[in-house]
Amino acid sequence: MTKAEQETTFRWDLEERVVHVWSAQPEVWRKMARLGVVERRTPSMQAGRVVGRWYALPLAGFRWGVKRKGGTRGNLATLARFRHVNNVVRSDQEAGRDQA
C-alpha cells in the first residue's frame, strides 16, 4: 500500500457520543494499541493482508487539532494565509465563478 493510500477517517456520532475511526496507517494502529484502544470489528483485508482497522473512542476523550509551527508569529502568518485563500474562494463563489 502506498503512502497516499494510507488514510485515517474519523466519524463523529453525536447521538452515541462516539468517534468511529478507520485507519490504514500502521502508525495509528500502534498508537491505538499504546492507548489501550481495542479494535471494534474484523480488520479490512486485501490479498490476505490487513489494510485497515476499525476503532471506536468515547467522544469526551477525543481531541482533534493542528500543531502550531514557528510559535505564535508563525501561527499568525499561517492563519493569515488561510484567511486570504478563504476570502478568494468566497468572493469567487459569490461572483458565480465557482467551477465545482
Number of neighbouring beta carbons within 10 Å of residue 76? 12
Give me the pLDDT at residue 76, please.
73
Whether residues 50 and 95 fall in one domain: no
Q: Are residues 33 and 16 in the same domain?
A: yes
Tell me which of 56 and 65 has the higher pLDDT: 56
pLDDT at residue 61 tops 70:
yes
Residues 43, 15: one domain? yes
Does 55 share its domain with 15? Answer: yes
> For residue 32, what are the contacts with CB-CB under 8 A and spacing of at least 6?
21, 23, 39, 53, 55
Instruction: Please give the radius of gyration of the chain, using alpha carbons only, rounded to the nearest integer.
Output: 19
Overall number of domains in the chain:
2
Q: Is residue 10 located within the same domain as residue 56? A: yes
Other beta carbons within 10 angstroms of residue 19's beta carbon come to 18
What pTM was estimated for this model as a whole?
0.59
Same-domain check for residues 51 and 82: no
Are 47 and 85 in a shared domain?
no
pLDDT for residue 24:
93
Give residue 43's domain range: 3-61
